[in-house]
Structure 1
Amino acid sequence: MVGTSYRPGEPGEELLDETVGSLLRRAAEQAPDTLALVEGVPDPAARRRWTYAELLDEAERAARALLGRFSPGERVAVWANNIPEWVILELAAALADITLVTVNPALREAELRHVLGHSRAAGVFLRREYRGNPMARTLAGIRADLPHLRTSVLFEDWAEFCAEGSPDRELPEAAPSSPAQIQYTSGTTGVPKGVVLHHRGITNNARLSYVRTFGLRPGEAQLNPMPLFHTAGCVLATLSAIVSLGTQVLPPYFEPGLMLELTESERCVVMGGVPTMLIAMLEHPALPRTDLSSLRYVLSGGAFVPPELVRRVEEILGVPLCIIYAQTEASPGITITRLDDSPEDRAHTVGRPLPLSEVKIVDAAGTVVPNGVTGELCTRGYHVMTGYLDAPADTAAAVDGDGWLHTGDLASMDERGYCRIEGCLKDMIIRGGENIYPREIEQVLAEHPAVAEVAVVGVPDPVWGERVAAFVRRTSGRTVAEKELFDHVRAHLAPHKTPRTWVFVEDFPLTGSGKIRKNVLREEYAAGRLREEADTSD
């Protein structure tokens, strides 16, 4: 299909029939004394550490304890921040053939009721409290609404729970096709759906994305600041460390100064995060005096990564910044930029499809478009989810009869297979019949030195149907007026793409995975809670 936006995925790789449990067992066999997990708390003296042999031993004890309360195939939820016990529970559930339901620790009562009720979780492991969220009290308040929930365990009682397991209990063998996790979508549009991910998908995706792309080596420390309830944290980062026999350094939360200190003290070869995290680290006063010589690369994704940020990271840190394009429904990696890609490709594209993953760009009729033409990105292969839990209509809408996952993201592909994400179908602005892609405008604005972060959305307009609105967070210590930014965009883009509404914000509403919640911006603006600085007309 020369000249069309289709790539079959790089050949030469074998699809392995593995489970999360088999990954851990192999790592413990091959590298029993290698450091596997470090608790990245601020006090270096308080950091607990596990070798692979110790990690397997604790995970097996926890798995046997799980089987004392639950049966293989049941679902158990985890509601906590990034703590080592979260990772151990993930591994234990896999060894017990129990499906893990991941829950954002920021959720409140109604959100928690939906996730635990919809998933029919038989148990939940949780913190008593986290960052002001009274989690145990919240759970107690909705317990009567959750008929399937038989038991709950506080992580402060983890040691006592693990001691329940009988050492003689035989652990089952999960099938590679068995569900490993249920992850709930961010819910930026509608009620969150439960994405069912299988062992084969997440184990191979971790291997073929991070491990293969970056040549991760045994014993190398890998900093994981991404939330574990998200696939970036518990799949890509956690499982790639195990596949590569590396060391996962797990901070309990994101704090830029702590990330820098951990990178230095634990000699991490990779740091990463969504753009807001990278910006916070670059702007932190400790950066100039932090020894980051161990870094081999920086990784980002999960949200739009401005080319100017890529260039800034590479210039300041002196290592390549690679971008992964991912979606929970795809286990999650789909495309990635490589270390040997040109600086231009690393800054302006999301790379080429991962091995064994087909990618195509199609128009509204489902026809593959020519190279360079924008359409919806679709992917097919081992990595596609089993489906949305108890939602056959939603599953059929997302995965067509030929197995193609329709991501809902607008993209283009060049003749080499490099992809550029232009935006989301749901975010496309239609102004007087003209289709406008916010990503293009955000990219131009991100190049202005006074713009730290930006989100472009469509807001109602009585004449044009929609008009372009830009929400801007200024760079620390910089001032900029709407007129200057208007002129900057006008100098680079057509007049109809230039924002007419400008709103300056101190921060953005974010999903748990760090994406800007554009639906909240629209709602807040419509309600008059976000006021524009000026409105420029033609």
Structure 2
Amino acid sequence: MKHDLYRKANLSLSYWPADTSTPLLNLDFVRALRDAAAKVPDRIALAEGSPEKKSRKKITYLQLLADSERLASALLEHFKPGDRIAVWGPNCIEWVLIQFGCAIAGMTLVTVNPSHQEKELEYILRQSKAAGIFVKEEYRSRSLIDIASKVSKNLPALKAVIGFADINSYMFAAADNKDFPDINPNDPCILKFTSGTTGFPKGAVLCHGGVLNASLFTIKRSGLEEGGVLVNPMPMCHVGGCGVATPGTILQLGTQVIMTEFYAELLLELIEEEKGTFTILVPTMIEAVLNHPNLTRYDISSLKSILSGASKVDASLVQRVRSQLGVGVTIGYGQTECMSISQTHMDDSFVDQSETIGQPMPQCEVKIASPEGDPLPIGERGEICCRGYQTMIEYDNMPEETAGVLKSDGWLHTGDLGLMDERGFLKFCGRLKEMIVRGGENIYPAEIELVLNAHPLVERAAIVGVSDEYWGEQVHAVILPKDQENPPDPYTLYQCCDSSLAHFKVPKYWYSVDEFPTTETGKIQRFLLKEWIEQGKLKRRACMI
């Protein structure tokens, strides 16, 4: 149940003062794990949820602490506190062990998506100046260890490439040294590169206290109770994995069941088998679960709630979760640069659950700002800005880019467009950089996409602005049909938009694709669509000039 502050808010400006009724924890990853191991030493901390039952491993809190300290000892024989250590591999217990080993050794974990290609890996390792990297030997028929070894030859700062299979021998070859560095909650713990929806990714440096408090606030508002069981399909390389699932579950003294890969039926099986009470799913995962033909064969009555976000969560999806699964849903909003900004509550109305991204999180100021940075009147669209404990320290080695978003007064400018009502509920209206200016008129892609995504023949739509000599920018629509053999007629879609939107907002150029280029969390990489249109790589289906 939410605090009275959230129930009785009555704002006159689009500014939410920080809710200080819930204190911040003065905590780091090391103390969090040690506290949990002291309180529930024999409780299962991690269970590996792989498709093959025989290969599923489990580890208690006491074992996790002991192994993490052994790994930290080994790391300190080869590296020094403050070094960056990368991890490149899919979800597994070893991934979490490396995260805590680095934390205890006072080193910063650099996360790398296992789907990244050679050039992407080299970019992240070079930018971060990683001193070492742990690598899963093989992933989806690719030899990651060979790729990492090849890349290391071009990176003088990279001293070691260590395979996941060698972690045990690496740990026990070192002396069992307990002389670990002191860790401060403001020290860096994770270097996470942005998802790259607008160009080259930037490395956001996150601190211990920011990650831990944000994860606890998020997990609690989502409904994970103390001692609960989180079945987690979110990639560990994403903040939803290493920044929410892992620390949040440990702070709640719970069990995290780590899915090594996402399959809808595997999720259902693990919820039944492990008595899962909570899970984190992006909208595409929810769709896969709800549409699975074997959904009703599994006993998932232990499941109490789902946290979703990362991309637009449609009202119809929220309704289906409630009716088909009978569980609560919360929708979260945040960024790599500021993990948790707002979230709906479990007891919010259906309208608020499905049409907003909730109210601000505890200890976080939020405003909808004008270009000058001033709070706008209630209901006016502007940039979502936040200030609080959870904002990033900086973009690594990018002072100009950091200054562009993180101001001297502590306000982080998200680059997202939104509006706030008098109760403090936020609505997401798109990216500031995605806003199209056509003939002096501001056009917001999300508004047009909402109309197109409601069409029965459209699976997903993306609106981009492309340079135009006369108008400045022109509106282009890219459509992913539900059925490639029966795509919607562009003229029908044009009429659909024209009857719902001002004429200047209606797309004039129409394209279709078999799939969208997306980030690891399903966000469409619009800059690539724009490039493809400009380069003539997308086949135009219609022009309505």
State the TM-score bracket (shorter-chain normalisation). Answer: over 0.9
Q: Label 1:30 to 1:476 Cα distance change in 2 as closer, same or farther (>3 A).
A: farther
SS of residue matched to 1:533 = strand
Asked if 1:296 corresponds to 2:304, the answer is yes
Give the TM-score normalised by structure 2. 0.94
Write the distance in 1 (CA, Å) between the matches of 2:290 and 2:85: 38
Cα offset, 1:148, TM superposition: 1.0
Q: Which shifted more, 151-160 or 467-476?
A: 467-476
Greater shift in the superposed pair: 200-209 or 184-193: 184-193
- Provide the rounded CA distance (Å) in 1 between the counterparts of 2:252 and 2:191: 25
Show the counterpart of 2:39. Answer: 30
Q: 1:501 to 1:2 in 2, by over 3 A?
A: same
- State which of 130, 142, 156 in structure 1 corresponds to 2:151: 142
Q: Would you say the 8 A contact 1:35–1:219 is kept in 2?
A: no
User: 1:37-96 deviations in whole A, cap 9, x for unaligned?
Assistant: 111101223210112112112111111121121111111111111111011110111111
Q: What TM-score, normalized by structure 1, do the two folds share? A: 0.95
Equivalent residues in 2 for 1:150-299, closer than 5 Å: 150-211=159-220, 213-299=221-307
Deviations 1:262-319 (A, max 9, x none): 2232222223322222223333333343333222122211122233332333333222
Structure-to-structure mapping, 1:407-418, within 5 angstroms: 407-418=414-425
Residues 323 and 346, structure 1, Cα contact 8 Å, conserved in 2: yes
The one-letter code matched in structure 2 to 1:327 is Q
1:79 and 2:88 matched: yes
CA positional deviation for 1:151: 1.1
Deviation at 1:132, TM superposition (A): 3.5
- Other-structure match for 1:433: 440
Q: Do residues 308 (structure 1) and 337 (structure 2) align?
A: no
- Is 389-398 or 352-361 further displaced after alignment? 389-398
| Aligned counterpart in structure 2 of residue 453 of structure 1, from 451, 457, 460 | 460
In the alignment, structure 1 residue 50 sits paired with structure 2 residue 65: no
Aligned to 1:67: 76
* Contact 2:378-2:421 at 8 Å conserved across structures: yes
Q: Percentage identity across aligned positions?
A: 42
Is residue 498 of structure 1 aligned with residue 506 of structure 2? yes
The amino acid across from 1:507 in the alignment is E
Report the counterpart of residue 368 of structure 2 in structure 1.
Answer: 361
Count the aligned residue pairs.
Answer: 535
Any stretches of 5+ residues in structure 2 without a counterpart? 1-9
Aligned to 2:7: none
Deviation at 1:101, TM superposition (A): 0.9
Cα RMSD for the two superposed structures: 1.9
- Check whether the contact 1:306–1:443 (CA below 8 A) recurs between aligned residues: no
Does the 8 Å CA contact 2:197/2:523 hold for their aligned counterparts?
no
Is the CA contact (8 Å cut-off) linking 2:198 and 2:525 kept in structure 1? no
Listed one character per residue, the Cα deviations across residues 198-221 of structure 1 (whole Å, up to 9, x for unaligned) are 11100111111212x134223321
Instruction: Give how far 1:5 is off.
Output: 0.5
Give 1:462 shift: 4.3
Aligned partners of 1:466 and 1:284: how far apart in 2? 42
Larger displacement relative to structure 2 (354-363 or 187-196): 187-196
- 1:442 aligned residue: 449
Aligned to 1:329, what secondary structure does the other structure show? Answer: coil
| Partner amino acid, structure 2, of 1:342 | S
For 1:450 and 1:316, locate their aligned partners in 2 and report how far apart those are by CA, in whole Å. 23
- Shift in Å, 1:398: 1.1
The corresponding residue for 2:541 is 533
Shift of 1:486: 3.0
Instruction: After TM superposition, give the deviation of residue 102 of structure 1 in Å.
Output: 0.9
Query: 1:508: which partner in 2?
Result: 516
Alignment partners' CA distance in 1, 2:534 and 2:324: 39
Pick aligned residue for 1:110 from 119, 134, 151? 119
In structure 2, the CA distance between the partners of 1:264 and 1:453, relative to structure 1 (3 Å rule), is: farther
After TM superposition, the structure 1 = structure 2 runs for residues 362-441 of structure 1, keeping only pairs within 5 Å, are 362-441=369-448
Q: Relative to structure 1, is the Cα distance of residues 322 and 445 closer, same or farther in structure 2, using a 3 angstrom cutoff?
A: farther
Preserved contact between residue 308 and residue 446 of structure 1 (Cα < 8 Å): no
Comparing 342-351 and 290-299, the one that deviates more: 290-299
Q: Give the letter aligned to residue 152 of structure 2.
A: R
Provide the rounded CA distance (Å) in 2 between the counterparts of 1:217 and 1:61. Answer: 30
After alignment, is 250-259 or 307-316 more displaced?
307-316
- Which structure 1 segments of 5+ residues have no match? none
Q: Which residue of 2 aligns with 1:471?
A: 478
SS at match of 1:97: coil
Corresponding letter in the other structure for 1:232:
G
Secondary structure in structure 2 of the residue aligned to 1:249:
strand
Which amino acid is the alignment partner of residue 60 of structure 1? E
The alpha carbon displacement at 1:479 in A equals 5.4
Code of the residue aligned with 1:152 in structure 2: it is: V
CA deviation profile, 1:9-48 (whole Å, cap 9, x unmatched): 3231111111011111111111112221111101223210
Give distance in 1, aligned partners of 2:321 and 2:497: 23
Structure 2 letter corresponding to 1:108: Q
- 1:70 and 1:276 map into 2 onto residues whose CA distance is 40
Q: Is the 1:40–1:262 contact (alpha carbons within 8 Å) kept by the matching residues of 2?
A: yes
